[in-house]
Structure 1
Amino acid sequence: MAKATKKQALGRGLSALLKDPENDIQSVSDKNADKVIGNVVELDIESIEVNPFQPRSNFNDETLKELASSIRELGIIQPITVRKLDFNKFQLVSGERRFRASKLIGLKTIPSYIRIANDQESLEMALVENIQRQDLDPIEIALSYQRLIDEVKLTQEKLSDRVGKKRSTITNYLRLLKLHPIIQTGMRDGFVSMGHGRALINIEKKKDQINIYEKVVSEGLSVRETEQLVKTYKESKKGEDSKNKQSLTKEIPNYVSKGIDVLKAHLSAKVDITTSQNGKGKIVIPFHSKEEFQRLRKLLTGE
């Protein structure tokens, strides 16, 4: 107990140091920086602003209240991490749930690790830190990966090293962002899992995605059942495409059959003809060089 009290007193002493305008630390080379940067300091909660780079956008009120109750009884076991912005002004890097819960019960100060980082470093720290958490939903993780690629300019290979995940895992998350927004929202709200999303992403048309998604939710289908439903859908679409293709290449009418040989002989070239049920069709004359095109043009136009 005495050891904990001594550590807390040290944190308060460093807090006083940060409030001294003559000791305004802006870089690791400044005087007394070694006493503050990387250490736990008791900071005024009002001196900390939330991180605009925070990837999490959903905070469950019930679990937040449970955390607040725990903090009231046991205190904050793991300090939050902040970066110094200006004199006695800080920005949250990680630990927003602890920060929110502390404000909820009216705490005036909070133990904080202090870092000095620019915007890009802060973004990367916040995203990587939050990706490691267990309570992010698949879409939040996918959005974090995409932001690390777009805003921090990480390749998938470097991102894989940074977050300790296989490239295939990262790719599977990123593909979820191709789902219809309604399905993404359904995943965030827990109506379907990432497994459902990975099955639905194999459907190209967003309208069909939604139709199958609604069936999955209304009937409470499992991931395996969803995969089978998607497979059946794709097979039926393949059959429809084949049927449509056959309707365009039905038996060539007699008047076309009689004329195609004349065209071939006149042009000394291959001629392909397709017709549809309504009597319409098209003539395709392939060529393989500039000279052959010019020869065909001359024969067809007389120029």
Structure 2
Amino acid sequence: MAANPKKLALGRGLNALLSPEDQEVLQQAVREGFIPLDQIKVNPFQPRDQFDQQALDELKQSIEQLGIIQPLTVRRVGPGSYQLISGERRLRAARLLKMTEVPAYVVDTGQQGMIEMALVENLQRKDLNPIEIGFALARLQEECNLNQDQIGQRVGMSRPNVSHYMRMVKLPPDIQWSIRSGDLEMGHAKVLAGVTPIEVQLDLAKRCLAGKWSVRTLEAAAKALMAPRTPSPSTPAGKIPAATGPYLQVQTRLSRHFESPTRVQVQGNGKGEIRIPFTDTDDLNRLLDLIFDGTL
């Protein structure tokens, strides 16, 4: 059940994120040598809010022996005052070592550029947990007025993946915390995001944690809870009965593919319908991507 982090292969550098004007700013960034540590403020747009203590200790030892090899990147916000864009782990390690100054590049970028640069720098260099990624992507949408396609282009993710991560921020706080801590994996989160109502969602997460379920086990339990009941013989005329037999297998396959409790309903004459619920327009766009990309 513990998380098994894998490096996000975004395949995009800052050039994929910034406009030509911003690229020129970075290319002409001035190295100011050493900046007093007490003049650098932490970037409020930093998406990472949890740091691995062991990794931080290892970085501290490395800096103690070799110094800071890669300068921090900051922006000037006033006389003798800078705001961090990237390099918070290096900054934290320097403070632990009680250093008085650190090497840094100074760039001039707007607030939107800061958000984007901080996000991409962290995604490419140090894995965030799924919740941190989700909140960071949500901020790109809300504060930079970007849609999911634009976000995907900037961070090198497909739109379905962007949608998956952004759905994480809508999960209840208790479930979010279990994902942050690694007790639930991304696969568990995807399954739980498709479960309604919230009471069932929380109960299922609790059972999953207690039983240390695999993603497949959780998926099966979720499907059992969300599956429609077998209609009784007194089903009103004109009402389409729930799926049975081979249609039930199709329903299960569709639910797994769309990560949503899909319904297949078939009448005696073979006619019927497929219903795929969605929670909002972003979820609808996610479903449309899955329908039209030809992977089913």
Q: Same fold (TM over 0.5)?
A: yes
Asked if 2 retains the 8 angstrom alpha-carbon contact of 1:42 and 1:111, the reply is yes
Tell me the residue number matched to 1:129: 121
Asked if 1 retains the 8 angstrom alpha-carbon contact of 2:26 and 2:107, the reply is no
Correspondence for 1:178 among 161, 170, 180? 170
Amino acid at match of 2:229: G
User: Based on CA coordinates, which of the two structures has the bigger radius of gyration?
Assistant: 1
Distance 1:133 1:183, change over 3 A: farther
Deviations 1:38-92 (A, max 9, x none): 4362111111111111111112333322221121112112221101111221100
Correspondence for 1:232 among 213, 224, 236? 224
Distance 1:87 1:200, change over 3 A: same
Query: What are the ranges of 5 or more consecutive residues in structure 2 without an aligned counterpart?
Result: 1-20, 238-296
Tell me the residue number matched to 1:146: 138
Tell me the residue number matched to 2:184: 192
Correspondence for 1:162 among 154, 159, 163? 154
Number of aligned residue pairs: 214
Deviations 1:206-243 (A, max 9, x none): 111111111111111111111111111112xx218x57
- The within-5 A match list for 1:1-303 is 37-39=29-31, 41-235=33-227, 238-239=228-229
Asked if 2 retains the 8 angstrom alpha-carbon contact of 1:132 and 1:163, the reply is no
Structure 1 vs Structure 2 CA RMSD: 2.6
Amino acid at match of 1:144: A
Distance 1:35 1:109, change over 3 A: farther
Q: Could you say what secondary structure the match of 2:208 adopts?
A: helix
Q: Could you say what secondary structure the match of 1:172 adopts?
A: helix
Could you state the TM-score of these two structures normalised by the residue count of structure 2?
A: 0.67
Asked if 2 retains the 8 angstrom alpha-carbon contact of 1:40 and 1:113, the reply is yes
Q: Could you say what secondary structure the match of 2:229 adopts?
A: helix
Could you state the TM-score of these two structures normalised by the residue count of structure 1?
A: 0.65
Q: Could you say what secondary structure the match of 1:159 adopts?
A: helix
Asked if 2 retains the 8 angstrom alpha-carbon contact of 1:36 and 1:114, the reply is no
| Distance of 1:71 and 1:34 partners within structure 2 | 25
Tell me the residue number matched to 1:293: none
Amino acid at match of 1:83: R
Q: Percent identity?
A: 37
Asked if 2 retains the 8 angstrom alpha-carbon contact of 1:186 and 1:192, the reply is yes
| Distance of 2:234 and 2:49 partners within structure 1 | 51
C-alpha displacement of 1:133: 3.5
Amino acid at match of 1:58: Q
Q: Could you say what secondary structure the match of 1:113 adopts?
A: strand
Distance 1:40 1:239, change over 3 A: farther
C-alpha displacement of 1:200: 1.1
Distance 1:246 1:109, change over 3 A: farther
Asked if 2 retains the 8 angstrom alpha-carbon contact of 1:40 and 1:79, the reply is no
> With CA pairs under 8 Å and 6+ residues apart, which has the higher RCO, 1 or 2?
2
